[in-house]
Amino acid sequence: MNFENVNKELIAFLDSSPNAFYAVSNMCKTLEDAGLIRLYEGKPWELEAGKGYYVTRNDSAVIAFRIPKKDYTGFQMMASHCDSPVFKIKTNAEIAIDKQYVKLNVEKYGGMICAPWLDRPLSVAGRIIVRTEEGIETRLVNIDRDLMIIPNLAIHMNREVNDGYKFNAQVDMLPLFCEKGEESDVFIKMIAEEAGVKAEDILDTDLFLYNRMKGTMLGLNNEFVASGRLDDLQCAYASLQGFLKAEPKDSVAVHCVYDNEEVGSGTKQGAAGTFLKDTLRRINSSCGKSEEEYLMSIASSFLVSADNAHAVHPNHPEKSDPTNRPYLNKGIVIKYSANQKYTTDAVSGAVMRAICNEAKVPFQIFTNRSDMLGGSTLGNISQSQVALNTVDIGLPQLAMHSPYETAGAKDTAYLIEAARVLFSSTMEGTGDGKYRLLF
Ligand code: ZN
């Protein structure tokens, strides 16, 4: 496995994807370059066996699929997410202080670690909606330079800062943007100029802060990779690369990346929405199949819900489970939780182990400490739309939900290989709890 190249390309993807809109746009470019055909939900679909397609929803979620040359048995799928905890710029963002500074009014999106957002260069990226002669149109905007900072309070003004600090999002987390001049609305004027449109033609915006620090390799032998948004663009990237390398034979390969996992998935482009179900149903009807054939194919399908996992922390090894302890670079993490916050059960866990064995990549197990609640992810949420055998996995990482996270240099390549095997495979249901795995 060429770990070095994989990490180079992963870091380029992370650096150019400051938020979900950019991540989806970058994935679409890659899919386009690989010869996949773009579909729109608002236009008819005419699908052909042996071809690959992709469709986006809200410009912030994407599903790509490849139909095998002959009739298919089911869907072999991997779902990840492309949003990360971040600060969103509010409407009417400018706040003047003492007629000297302009800071921006922001609010939390998701549950982030606040402290590492302070005292580092930040900028802003996202989408704007522009009035045109035909209606409205979306433009992506990224101010690609060091632009803002959220300054800490000096230790002399808060002597207790190192004894634990409760961050107030309305007080502590607003970024300093510029000196106050004569002009007003300088923020939106800057966005308009960058996008090449008139400020008055911008009808609305979805703009987010991002950490300017680029991804890098570190450790004595470059064995670690550190970057913003590893959760969950590392899995989204591995899923995409595995998808492009795969050769679907008897099942439709489906690469699915949702938005809004960090805020509970309850949007049209999130896992609780109908995006995946609508897409699978349209594939089914476009291929001339009946409702019964749809349900039969779902029973012969498999979903890998891929969202990063907690590795054992070097300074807090006691926070991990006593017997299931994932480490960086030791492979794909299969996640279990008895209360089914993770969907993995004995059947889907067994299938995932078989996939890893076939791919010749290592895997390890995560469970929460029994006295810790732990997080949740998109796998169990998507069951309410498309219910099927699902496993929850992830890649091991540290500092989850920090704007700069750390992962292993080998694990991305392991997941690419496992995804390639998944997308090339078929899982034929021959009875409840009985399957033929065809690799
Ligand atoms: Zn995640």
370 CA distance to ligand 1 middle (Å): 21
380 CA distance to ligand 1 middle (Å): 13
239 CA distance to ligand 1 middle (Å): 14
Summarised one tens digit per residue, pLDDT across range 71-84 is 999 999 999 999 99
pTM, entire model: 0.97
Q: Given 165, 186, 211, which residue is the final one in a domain? A: 211
How far from 225 is each of 221, 238, 341, CA to CA, in Å? 11, 14, 28
306 CA distance to ligand 1 middle (Å): 8
Summarised one tens digit per residue, pLDDT across range 237-274 is 999 999 999 999 999 999 999 999 999 999 999 999 99
Q: What is the structure's pLDDT at 214? A: 98
User: Where does 85-186 show beta strands of DSSP type E?
Assistant: 86-97, 101-109, 122-131, 136-142, 176-179
* Residues 117 and 263 placed together within one structural domain of the fold: no
Asked if the structure places residue 160 within a domain, the reply is yes
CA nearest to 203, candidates 91, 98, 349 = 91
Q: What is the structure's pLDDT at 167? A: 96
* Residues 90 and 80 placed together within one structural domain of the fold: no
Summarised one tens digit per residue, pLDDT across range 226-236 is 999 999 999 99
How far from 395 is each of 100, 212, 390, 408, CA to CA, in Å? 46, 24, 17, 8
Percent of the chain at pLDDT exceeding 70: 100
* Residues 191 and 93 placed together within one structural domain of the fold: yes
172 CA distance to ligand 1 middle (Å): 25
Q: Are 298 and 390 in contact (CB under 8 A)?
A: no
393 CA distance to ligand 1 middle (Å): 11
CATH number for the domain spanning 341: value is 3.40.630.10
405 CA distance to ligand 1 middle (Å): 12
253 CA distance to ligand 1 middle (Å): 22
286 CA distance to ligand 1 middle (Å): 33
377 CA distance to ligand 1 middle (Å): 7
Count the domains in the chain: 2
Average pLDDT, stretch 320-331? 98
CA nearest to 18, candidates 105, 190, 137, 143 = 143
Whether residue 375 has pLDDT greater than 90: no
Range(s) of the domain holding residue 48: 3-84+228-438
Q: Given 211, 244, 267, which residue is the final one in a domain? A: 211
33 CA distance to ligand 1 middle (Å): 27
281 CA distance to ligand 1 middle (Å): 27
Asked if the structure places residue 221 within a domain, the reply is no
> Tokens standing for 169?
């999002």
* Helix pair angle (3-15, 411-424), 10° resolution: 90
Amino acid at the residue 254:
V
CATH number for the domain spanning 93: value is 2.30.250.10
